[in-house]
């Protein structure tokens, strides 16, 4: 599938509502479950996505458009959200994510993202040269990966409870 900004935005626009539908009002036993040390719970995913809205996707797009490869991206701390999420309800985090995503998509809508813009390059601290188009595509895939992760972590809570059906429920044993 060829990347188009409109198609990418169509997916990015849906992520907050998807996570809200999956997580709003659930007990902590669902929200705080994870897959082991240094993995994300569903609640952690929301905090991580908030941090990305604030520091990653649109700020990096702006760096590419304004500076190209001359200004490298600031490295992203995947766990920086942990201190920022303390003291906030899951509902408040979901609302914050939705508001930040709307803001991000307004910023993207104000950019001229034609073929020339999508081909512009920036410098990622670990990957080196990347294009704005690759960054936009990665944003979409990053969202989808975290939606999958939330579903997988939640499904894992019933790994034993499903009994013999486990062999048919591939989400329980495939990454």
Average confidence score pLDDT of the chain: 95
Asked whether the CA dihedral 26, 28, 30, 34 is positive or negative, the reply is positive
| Domain extent at residue 158 | 5-172
pLDDT given at position 175 = 65
pLDDT class of 104 with cuts at 50, 70, 90:
very high
pLDDT value at residue 132: 98
Token pair 């701390």 in the structure block, residue: 77
Query: Among residues of the chain, what percentage have pLDDT more than 70?
Result: 99
Domains contained in the chain, number: 1
pLDDT tens sequence across 91-102: 999 999 999 999
Residue 67 has pLDDT above 80, yes or no: yes
Instruction: Kindly report, residue by residue over 110-161, the tens digit of the pLDDT.
Output: 999 999 999 999 999 999 999 999 999 999 999 999 999 999 999 999 999 9
In angstroms, the CA 128 to CA 171 distance is 34
Q: What is the CATH number of the domain that holds 62?
A: 1.20.120.450
Residue 172 has pLDDT above 80, yes or no: yes
Written as six digits, the tokens of 9 are 């935005």
**Rounded CA separation 102/6 (Å):** 15
Q: What is the pTM of this model?
A: 0.94
Q: Has residue 17 got a pLDDT over 70?
A: yes
Choose among 32, 48, 38, 7: nearest CA to 147. 48
For tokens 């599938």, the residue is 1
pLDDT number for residue 85: 77
In this predicted structure, what is the pLDDT of residue 45? Answer: 97
**The pLDDT value given to residue 80:** 79
User: Which three-class secondary structure state does DSSP give residue 37?
Assistant: coil
């Amino acid at each position: 599938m060829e990347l188009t900004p409109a198609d990418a935005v169509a997916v990015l626009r849906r992520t907050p509502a998807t996570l809200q539908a999956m997580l709003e009002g659930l007990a902590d036993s669902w929200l705080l479950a994870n897959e082991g040390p240094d993995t994300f719970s569903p609640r952690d995913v929301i905090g991580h996505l908030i941090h990305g809205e604030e520091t990653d996707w649109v700020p990096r797009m702006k760096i590419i458009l304004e500076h190209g490869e001359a200004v490298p991206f600031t490295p992203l701390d995947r766990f920086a959200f942990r201190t920022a999420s303390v003291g906030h309800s899951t509902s408040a985090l979901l609302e914050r994510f939705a508001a930040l995503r709307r803001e991000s998509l307004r910023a993207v809508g104000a950019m001229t993202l034609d073929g020339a813009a999508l081909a512009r390059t920036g410098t990622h601290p670990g990957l080196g040269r990347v294009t704005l188009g690759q960054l936009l595509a990665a944003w979409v895939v990053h969202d989808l990966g975290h939606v999958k992760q939330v579903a997988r972590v939640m499904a894992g809570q019933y790994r034993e409870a499903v009994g013999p059906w486990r062999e048919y429920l591939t989400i329980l044993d495939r990454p």
